[in-house]
Amino acid sequence: MLPAEIIAKKRDGQSLTAEEIRGFIRGFSEGSIPDYQMAALAMAICIRGMSPDETAVLTAEMLSSGSSLERFDDPRPRVDKHSTGGLGDKVSLVLAPLLACCDLLVPMISGRGLGATGGTLDKLESIPGFRTDLSSDEIRTVTRQVGCVITGTTAELAPADKKLYALRDVTATIESVPLITSSIMSKKLAENLDALALDVKFGQASFMKTRGEARQLARQLIHVGTSMNLPTTALLTDMNQPLGQMIGNAVEVDEAVATLEGDGPADLVELVLALGAELLVGVGKEPNREEALKQLRGHLGSGRARQKFDQLVRAQGGDPDAPRPVATATDWLAAEPGYVTSIAAEQLGWLIIELGGGRQVMTDKIRHDVGVQLLVRVGDQVFQGQPLLRLFADPDDLTRVQPGLERMVQIGEKPVQVEKLIHQRLANDEPGEDEPGETDG
């Protein structure tokens, strides 16, 4: 079939055969199918969708366009997690060294900021000297020596996905569930894992705005993992307010370090422990969730997890003891008493970008010293004059963004119901059960 015929077939809502998908992606990867035809197929997929089986074939072809990380001679199980992106999400910085303390290998391939959400690599680069551009050989060496690594992708891992992602970013096809699925899973499958835990977020500061959308994505991800012999589970988590208190780069590293020392915010600790327990039980390191949580809490409380983080930083060229400067702190105060009814999480993400803590265009240089500390949570009672936000920014920049600050924390007269952080667990293509009394949203 000619490329135009395959595009037309998907445009008309028909399923593509495995041969058609493989041939198209191979042609695109090798250069015989031009960008404009790949962009047309991506838009057809975005509008018409793909079946789970089509998505699995697409993922497999993305994976086979490059090489995978080598399995070296080591009895420790290989695991990883993936988050679909959220504000204040520094889970990877805590979870990777924590799992390494549990005799697991964590070859974590991470990304940069996308949209209003921050990127793990951008945060880690606030540590002086820290390298996020390791080669495949360096990834293997650090993983073997430390037990974990956090780095960017290499040119050899799923190169077809890298090419397609660049097109999706400029053709309004980022939100397509099949394309998101193939992008995430092709890179995770290239890590040669024994288990994968997914944090699929929904709400204001995430790509999936409703829990139903997040569930659809989670099931696709699980189906692809299961069909390719990678045990995969997913947690659906709320992203209508930031995770933890800190939003930014250096300030998020500081909060991650505090968490590794046993002094982290409750919601961040809850999510780290939940994802860690999924993986410990998933590879048979612990018989049940309770025993897994006990081991994880022990490493946080003992200081061993912090020591492992320092070892990771040094192995990747960084200095964990070097100061991570932050800009001047200024508090934003409540204009009236009441209860926090909502937090404009997505707008806070854009605020960080406007202050220079993220990129507006790919060539922007990130400022690691700016950030925001969220001093209240949804449901909290506040008083007039009470600090709501602590902003780390130069005074001139703060003056420029000040008119929008009053919209960041909404205060009402009556208390509101506080949503739970973890709404649902899904695994092995099973329907999954909601918590008692939970309704879809």
What domains, with CATH codes, occur in the chain?
Answer: 3-49 (1.20.970.10), 79-321 (3.40.1030.10), 329-412 (3.90.1170.30)
**Three-state SS at 248:** strand
**Cα Rg of the chain, angstroms:** 22
In angstroms, the CA 264 to CA 262 distance is 6
Instruction: Enter the DSSP assignment of 75.
Output: -
Main-chain phi, psi angles of 383, to 5 degrees = -120, 155
**Proportion of the chain above pLDDT 90, given as a percent:** 80
Q: Look at the alpha carbons of 302, 91, 139, 131 in this order and tell me if their dihedral is positive or negative.
A: negative
Q: What is the pLDDT of residue 70?
A: 87
Orientation of helix 289-302 relative to helix 91-100, angle to 10° = 100
420/114 Cα distance (integer angstroms): 25
Share of residues in the chain with pLDDT > 70 (%)? 95
Pairing mode, strands 422-427 and 381-382: unpaired
Output the furthest CA–CA distance in the chain (Å, rounded).
Answer: 68
State the distance between the two ends of the chain, measured CA to CA, in whole angstroms.
Answer: 42
Of 290 and 352, the one with more pLDDT: 290
Is 350 exposed, middle or buried (CB count within 10 Å of its CB: 0-12, 13-18, 19+)? middle
**Contact assessment for residue 143 and residue 105, using Cβ atoms and an 8 Å cutoff:** yes
**pLDDT > 80? residue 438:** no
Q: Which residues are catalytic?
A: 82, 161, 168, 183, 187
Lowest mean pLDDT among 96-100, 265-269, 345-349: 345-349
Q: Which of 225-229, 395-399, 411-415 has the lowest mean pLDDT?
A: 395-399
pLDDT of residue 437: 35
Angstrom CA distances, 354 to 42, 251, 348, 358, stand at 31, 17, 10, 8
Distance CA 23, CA 303 (A): 52
